[in-house]
Structure 1
Amino acid sequence: MRLRALFRRLAVPAVAGSLALTGLAMPAEAADPDELELSIIGVLGPETVTVINGQSKTVKFDLFNFSNRVVKNAVLHFGTAGKPVAADLGFTAPAGCQATKCELADFKPGEQRSMTFTLKPAAPAGASPATMLDLSTSIPGGESDETSITVVRTTKGGVDLEMGDIKDLKLGRGQTADVPFTVSNVGNQAIEALGLLVLPVAGGVEPVLKYRNCQADPEFGGLMCVFNEPVAGGGTFALPESSPLRIKVPADAPGPYDYPVFVAAVGLTDKFVLDFAAKSAAAKGAELKLEALSTAAEEPKEAEDLNPDDNLTDFTVSVPKSSADSAAVGGAFTGAIGDTSTVKVGLRNHGPTGTVPMPLMSPEGLLYVQVRLPAGILVSEADGRCMPGTSPTDIDYGTTVPFTGRDWVCLVLESVGKGEQDLFGFTGEIVEVDEGEQKAGRVTVHGGVQDSKSGNDKAALTVELTGGGSGGGLPITGAPAGLVAGGGAVLLVAGLLAYRMARRRRIVTVVE
């Protein structure tokens, strides 16, 4: 019995949100830097909530500030004047809020808050079993945001797993911590077995679950554990103190960084329970690798869940600052006038730890490489992680064809390990320039808070002519094929939105 498909269905949507940071291509008209000065509190909730008539259901949603300023006097609204919350939904506003609105305390830049409301609908009398519930935010002089949740009422019931919240942690390198974990079945039908997925997203944190019923997946770096214990309707499942959910920060983990960890639960069918029991009965030792005992049988199905959105929660592990000496790597375009040449420039990490990944919440600590091309290079292709400009907050938003600038900004998206390089490719034609204007370029590494050694942050980027050409010179014109229209904080905002949306949008689905 293979668990790869189950891993993929559970893990990919969650990981995709955080990896959306690598999708840097954005419409030029959406990259107006003035828009970044607007204040806005975003609201994200599940698309659909299924509620059993007569039973209470807790619904979780997120609010977050993705502007670069403190937001004051924001208001959260439940329903609208023209479409109030339906009375028969049994809506109870979050604690401390009024029935139709909630005045919110100040939001720091990048701050995220999770809130809940409850529903306890009465049996519909001739009314449609599906009702829309609108949530929106407003700010004086700022932008508004809104989302709609479809509430589906049912009399049949079923399994409905809910993950309990897990508080964020702070750990030093080499430290471990037990993580309190609970999952409740608020439905009215029992499940025979429970699957638990522990998935660190950006590295830097490792799950420590050395038990015979846990299997690591090398593709995602997470663990799937199977518990052959029934969870009755209305029951709550928790790991005992003797076998806790535990995470570890490796001794060389880079920081400072808040590493996200996703934890998801899924109910498994009888077929899975029987197969697992048969395969594990003769197992020896403290650790069981399920794939080693599997057959080519069809993939087991997990029990259907009324509300798969709340089967998953996440928390962060804050790791303190470490040192990483980022040194610039230069190069030279080589050839005769009219030749096309390619160079790869960037950085090399001398350690002692890796560099931190690209931050998900704010541009603070962002690691990037500033590239100034030498005169005499007509760029035809640039690395997709590079944009025209001098810094992530100073991008050439008004780029037109032809592009005549020499300055580029290249973003380091992933952690660069000790002794490793991250290089960016540039391809261009070597053209003539006026005599005396053959100015060398340079590569400058901005290593953030980890890099305290500045002596190796710059390297030369030159043109080495092997022959040909003289005289009046040619202008550097043309449109780089790899030009990315976007930049800076816009990319961080887009990544944050995708990351948060991935949390609350049907993350757990039925495995076929």
Structure 2
Amino acid sequence: MLTHSTRRWLAGLGVAGAFVAASATPASAADAPFKVVAQDMLVASDHTGFAYVYAESTDSEKPHQFGRTTLEIDFSGISDFAVLEQPGEGWGWACETSGQALHCESEFGEDDGPWLGIQVTGKHQATPGQKGELTYAVTSGGRTVKTSSTVIVAEGVDLQTEPEASVSGAPGSRVGMPAVVHNGGETTSRGAALVVHGDYLSQYVGDFSNCRPTDMMGALCTFDEELAPGKTYRLSEELPFQLHEDARTGAVFHGASVWWTKDDWELISRDWQQDGEPGKGPKLHLVEQTGAKSLSPQTDLDQQNNFTEVSVRVTGDNPADLSAKGATGSGKVGDVVRVSPSFTNLGPAVLEYQDGPLFRVSVPQGTTAVEVSGDCQPYISDDKWDPWNGNWGESGAREYGCVASETPKGRKYPYEFALRIDKVIPGVTGPVAVRLAGDPNRKNDHATIVVNPTGVGGDTGSGGNGGGTLPITGESTALVAGIGGLLLAAGVGGYVVARRRRTRFVA
């Protein structure tokens, strides 16, 4: 079982994925203890492009410890047509500009690696086709490694889409993912690329010849049709996604779709390993095209409006019955006893990831929680529950709320606590409870933790009331990480990662 902190770490790999997936130019110093990677970027007149530069160890067995690190960026190569925006100290760097060079310094902890977001704005008089180099030098541990990236001025277009869409279907059924794109700019867009992300329990199953499955359970589709200014386009057919037969009725899986210009997509996906093969069926089309022609590269002027969050709601009659179980511990004053309250999914549906507080634990009086499950954080109220900035595993609270990873039928999900006995109170109890919207059996949602049981009261089993029930208010929202590192490179990833994570179970 993955702890909460582990899942947060895995979600953070999406950032690394953005670095690796995007157009990367590594340094050539093969014998250096680290390498420097920088992304190329497209900019338009009076508009800003975004990319990363980062350094990483070349020896995974003995990682380089960066410690005090400097980063030098020479932007003289782009000064005729673009401006390097001052990153400032917001990324943990202290930066100063001198002439046409930027000098940044920072101190990195053990196993941390340096990275910096770079913003470049095209000047008003910038002409599509102009290009130049940014050069980078990273110094750490007495070694300096250099690299460069290319900045190209492109035509500006503005692909837009609807911010939200929703579909529904019963377990085991297929649902169609809608996708709409509008050209809100003044320039014809020569084709487009669409990336749609799914979930473990909701996966792409299409066979279009211009689409391929991705490792995010979704699809990548490319289109050659031209998108005329002011016109809206829809897919000739909706993208088919298959709901898992064990999906829970009432669950909501959050996917996403993002539109790109073909040049933006070519740039960020240049080194992306695409696992799936194109389909063998007919080609998926956009329903409208026009004949404008241009030879200049194109970049999207506002990638914040290219993103649609797609909600897939499961209908039918396939609930998940969660059964709570308490725990028992004994000891004298000063002893630390370990207890593992839990819930078991009695099925028939699989429980999708729950961002909590799905499971609540009240610490028995006379004891102090000195070790707490990484899936739990102190609980005050639903209004103050924060799954992203909470103090996970923090000791000393009187009440805890806990999240859960995907849990199939028959799987037990324990939460480990270590309780120090400060005062012996025979038979003292602390209620625990699990609450899931649509659970068909509320009678087994409550149990108790009992410390120094007396043999009277304090049922610790499934459905026991012992110390009374612990009400949980509000529905748990199923959130899934449907967005990979490629979206991070577009600037929309921060929004997406803040909304969801993904973990998987192995049945």
Query: Normalising TM by the smaller chain, what interval?
Result: 0.3 to 0.5
User: When you count helix as a share of all residues, which structure comes out higher?
Assistant: 1
TM-score, normalised on structure 1?
Answer: 0.47
Higher normalized contact order (CA 8 Å, seq sep 6+, divided by chain length): 1
User: When you count strand as a share of all residues, which structure comes out higher?
Assistant: 2
